[in-house]
Amino acid sequence: MSDFFFTGAVTVLIKGEEAPLFPGRLHQRGVTLKNLRYSRDNEVRFCISVRDVGKLRQEARLFSGKVQFEDRTGFPFIKKRLARYAPFFLTSICFFIAMILLSAMIIRIDIQGADAELEGDVRLFLRKEGIREGAVRLNELDLEKISRRAVQEIPGVVRVSIEKKGVAYVVDVSAEKKKGNTKKEGTHLKASKSGVVYDLFVERGIAAVRRGDFIKAGERLVTGTKKKPASGTVTAETWYKATVTIGSSLKTRNGEERKSIFFSLGEKEYSLWTASPFSKPVQSEENRYSFHFFSYRLPVSVRTETYYPLKPVTAIESKAEQEKKAVQAARGALMARLPKKAVIIGENVLQKRVENGKVKVIIHFQVLENIAIN
């Protein structure tokens, strides 16, 4: 039968008084018979190639008995069956792939504990991290790291908890508690910090300062009454000092990379491709791609480990480049602390010195911000 697999084989049943003679007649025509079996009831079974069916039909016309085809096997018949059921298989595969993609898609992001303004900041941060409605995420995200970065980068946030529930992400935000205004109406506007008045806009009340005045923290800016409580904004030039330390021993990737791929089925993990190790110091990154069917996680996942060799940075930076890098780092850290409408109008390097092989830079910033509080 194995010889007939690619050409196709047919099992033939012969019945009649001359049935025992029928195989000999086929043999005379050059037909190869397989699995030839005789029975006492003048019945003969054998297998022939599909190519010899024409010779069988010629001999059957001269035969007075009965000729039946019982079974059809081999590659041609398998191909016909597959072609017959191909639409069903293709539809099933496409449906399964579509369900996997839909299960990996982020359908909804629920943000709890944040007002409209803070919710916008949180959604903008999540979009930067690749968490947005409509995105397809097959790789697993480190939600704890993302939560810690959110606390560091989003102003006014003290705690963020991110949880994936099926096709939705639930983000629980704890914001800083704003101090309630326990003072009665008629309170004055006072300075929250020291500075020089740059501009002021008084909605209600009488201004107690003018442009160019130096004021101290707690000093009255706008006087109000019980009937007309003080309100408005006072923009002043304030000052901040920042200290930045730049390390001299830096390492960077040299452009090479090697990747190992692992396939997990249940609790067992199999290596599909293992990269040869580098002899140099390396930096590694790990990504895991899991598959879900709606809220159920399938027991199949793919894990990749990518290794990047590191090389020391031999380029010598000039003093101007070091100062520029320090100012940029300090400016970014300061902008994260300042109110949204605050503007940095100037910076000066006060001091720069080397300590333990590292450069320490002290920078003075000039900022315009609203300092009026009740």
**Token code pair at residue 22:** 């029928």
| β-bridge partners, 234 | 200
Instruction: Provide the 10 A C-beta neighbour count for residue 124.
Output: 11
Percentage helix, strand, coil for the chain under 3-state DSSP, each rounded to 5: 25, 45, 30
Query: What one-letter code names the amino acid at 281?
Result: P
**Using the 8-state DSSP alphabet, how is residue 318 labeled?**
P
Q: What local confidence, expressed as pLDDT, does residue 195 receive?
A: 93
Lowest mean pLDDT among 79-83, 315-319, 341-345: 315-319
What percent of the chain lies above the pLDDT cut of 90?
Answer: 28
Question: Mean pLDDT, the chain, as a whole number?
Answer: 85
**Using the 8-state DSSP alphabet, how is residue 73 labeled?**
E
Q: What local confidence, expressed as pLDDT, does residue 317 receive?
A: 61
Task: Report whether pLDDT(184) > 50.
Answer: no
Lowest mean pLDDT among 1-10, 100-109, 203-212, 222-231: 1-10
pLDDT band for position 365 (cuts 50, 70, 90): very high
Q: What local confidence, expressed as pLDDT, does residue 182 receive?
A: 44
pLDDT digits (tens, 9 = 90+) for 97-141: 888 888 888 889 999 988 888 899 999 999 998 898 888 887 778
More confident residue, 289 or 195: 195
Instruction: Provide the 10 A C-beta neighbour count for residue 147.
Output: 17
Average pLDDT over residues 143-168: 87
Contact yes or no for 154/197 (Cβ under 8 A): no
**Token code pair at residue 173:** 């935000």
Residues 6+ apart with CB under 8 A from 178: none
Tell which residue, 250, 246, 255, has the closest CA to residue 315: 250
Average pLDDT over residues 2-21: 87
Ordered by where they begin, the domains of the chain are 2-73 (3.30.70.260), 108-175 (3.10.20), 183-248+314-374 (no CATH), 251-312 (no CATH)
Contact yes or no for 4/49 (Cβ under 8 A): yes
Q: What local confidence, expressed as pLDDT, does residue 110 receive?
A: 92
Task: Report whether pLDDT(222) > 50.
Answer: yes
Tell which residue, 281, 361, 273, has the closest CA to residue 317: 361
3-state secondary structure (DSSP) of residue 74: coil
pLDDT digits (tens, 9 = 90+) for 281-293: 788 888 888 887 7
Q: What local confidence, expressed as pLDDT, does residue 102 receive?
A: 83
For 276-315, b/e burial (b = at least 16 CB within 10 A) is eeeeeebeeeeeeebbbeeeeeeeebbbbebbbbeeeeee
Contact yes or no for 268/303 (Cβ under 8 A): no
User: C-alpha distances in angstroms, 347 versus 170, 242, 369?
Assistant: 41, 10, 15
**Token code pair at residue 236:** 């002043």
Task: For residues 308 and 257, give the distance between their C-alpha atoms in angstroms, rounded to a whole number.
Answer: 5
Q: What local confidence, expressed as pLDDT, does residue 316 receive?
A: 56
Query: If phi over 0 gives left and psi between -120 and 50 gives alpha, with beta otherwise, what is residue 266?
Result: left
Backbone angles phi, psi at 36, to 5 degrees: -80, 125
Task: Report whether pLDDT(314) > 60.
Answer: no
Task: For residues 138 and 244, give the distance between their C-alpha atoms in angstroms, rounded to a whole number.
Answer: 39
Lowest mean pLDDT among 193-207, 279-293, 296-310, 360-374: 279-293
pLDDT digits (tens, 9 = 90+) for 235-256: 999 999 988 887 655 667 777 8
